Amino acid sequence: MDYSQFLHMREELSLIAVLLLLFLADLFMSPDAHKQKGTTPVLNTMLPVILMAIHTAINLVPGTTADIFGSMYHYVPMHTVVKSILNIGTLIVFLMAHEWMKRDDTSFKQGEFYVLILSTLFGMYLMISAGHFLMFFIGLETASIPMAALIAFDKYRHNSAEAGAKYILTALFSSALLLFGLSMIYGSAGTLYFEDLPAHIDGNPLQIMAFVFFFTGMAFKLSLVPFHLWTADVYEGAPSAVTAYLSVISKGSAAFVLMAILIKVFAPMIHDWQEVLYWVTIASITIANIFAIRQQNLKRLMAFSSISQAGYIMLGIIGGTAQGMTALVYYVLVYAAANLGVFAVITIVALRSQKFTLEDYAGLYKTNPKMAFLMTISLFSLAGIPPFAGFFSKFFIFMAAFEAGFHLLVFIALANTVISLYYYLLIVKAMYITPSDHPIPTFRSDRCTKWGLALCTLGIIGLGIASIVYQSIDKLSFGI
């Protein structure tokens, strides 16, 4: 065996090293390492953050294209870009979780939190670099099962346990459907290698059914309508930091993997899957925006917002072009900065005051003006208002779909941005205009939360100015 093949898996090997170091650190540095009650947790947040920052930094430069382990693992430079985006998002989630990890009911299990997060990230890495459906499915399950544990992390809170149960049950059903679709692909084509499948794909009824089952499983991961019914309950019940991770990192990886597989495997069936994506995109954007208006709980509102954002992401996929891939990756990057910024505010407010509803945020500007301002620019970026980066990400993804010939779809998506702006402005209105006799009290954020918010703000403003980011992604994109 040629062990030099492992050198092409530097992201995975580096992440495994971080996992092992954190596992050992938890063994010796956790509060209950010596069974001493009341011991201040030593591990806390800085070690995971430092290790994650090092891991991200040493894997920023793309390598050369390679097929290893019999083409089970396929690497292209674009994979490094996507994995780096996931790394940065995970780093921000670690910073967001610092205050939560210090609580008495969570400090003793902080090691488990970091290990579970990085385990799901490792699964996403395998999905992204898979060259075979078996490798893809292993990665999918590696990413999904620890996620259920994270959602139910606050197990003594009824909502968290319920959310974990809902997620794992629906994840099992969606995985079963996806696996059934893969078995149909193997039955009709006789192979599961991505590079071999296009020669055997001719769009016969069995393969169309196989695609429907495969897409159903992926649509669950992306929270696309009509496979979205779990989303609001899980987002509300899960800890806020976990909800942020689920809404950004998990969604971003699944979107890229879906596009890559459609391009590599189902290219001969492009007209069939474009028809499916067309109607799913319209349903996801429209229904999610309408239901978001009715929400009073901010985490539920952001759940429907994420469903709508998944619909916008589909605009980059539907053309199957290199331009669409560039727009998708750039959109995920900007979406990560804006959405994590919103959830960072939701997380710290929930920890300090146990406030979650729109009414609770009334008068936030008077007591916490900086927090309200950061929340506002994050929401404006999600809505696509210039000059924030969200405007440019929406422009590029609309342009990709328009140039692929989906003019009506782009018009419908544009009309829906007005609806999304309305419910984002409801939050802004509550913070700045709506009076309150009992506003959220003034508080100071911890240092890690401030760093997380600073990174999100830098992304929201800087990504709209630094055109080199989009151009660099564009050089590495591929399409049908």
Write down the pLDDT at residue 34: 46
Write down the pLDDT at residue 37: 53
Q: What are phi and psi of 249, to 5 degrees?
A: -70, -50
Nearest to 188 by CA among 269, 71, 278: 269
Helix 298-317 vs helix 251-264: angle between axes, to the nearest 10 degrees?
A: 20
pTM score of the predicted model:
0.91
d(CA 397, CA 324): 7
Q: What are phi and psi of 193, to 5 degrees?
A: -75, 130
Write down the pLDDT at residue 404: 87
Write down the pLDDT at residue 360: 80
Q: What is the pLDDT along the chain (480 residues), one digit of tens a residue?
A: 667 777 778 888 999 999 998 888 877 766 555 455 555 555 666 888 889 999 999 988 888 888 888 888 888 899 999 999 999 999 999 988 888 887 777 777 788 889 999 999 999 999 999 888 999 999 999 998 899 888 888 877 768 888 888 888 888 888 899 999 999 999 888 888 988 888 888 878 898 999 999 999 899 888 898 888 888 888 888 888 889 998 889 888 999 999 999 998 888 888 888 999 999 999 999 999 999 888 888 888 999 999 999 999 999 998 888 898 999 999 999 999 999 999 888 888 888 777 778 888 888 888 888 888 998 999 999 888 888 888 999 999 999 999 988 899 999 999 998 888 888 998 888 888 887 777 777 778 778 888 988 999 898 988 888 778 888 888 888 877
Write down the pLDDT at residue 411: 93
Nearest to 71 by CA among 7, 2, 135: 135
**For 42-52, b where at least 16 C-beta lie within 10 A, e where not — what string?**
ebbbebbbebb
State whether residue 152 is helix, strand or coil. coil
Going by their DSSP bridges, the two strands 66-68 and 73-75 should be labelled as: antiparallel
Question: Residue 329 carries which DSSP code?
Answer: H
Nearest to 123 by CA among 2, 239, 11, 20: 11
| Interval 358-411: pLDDT, tens | 888 888 888 888 888 998 999 999 888 888 888 999 999 999 999 988 899 999
d(CA 225, CA 348): 30
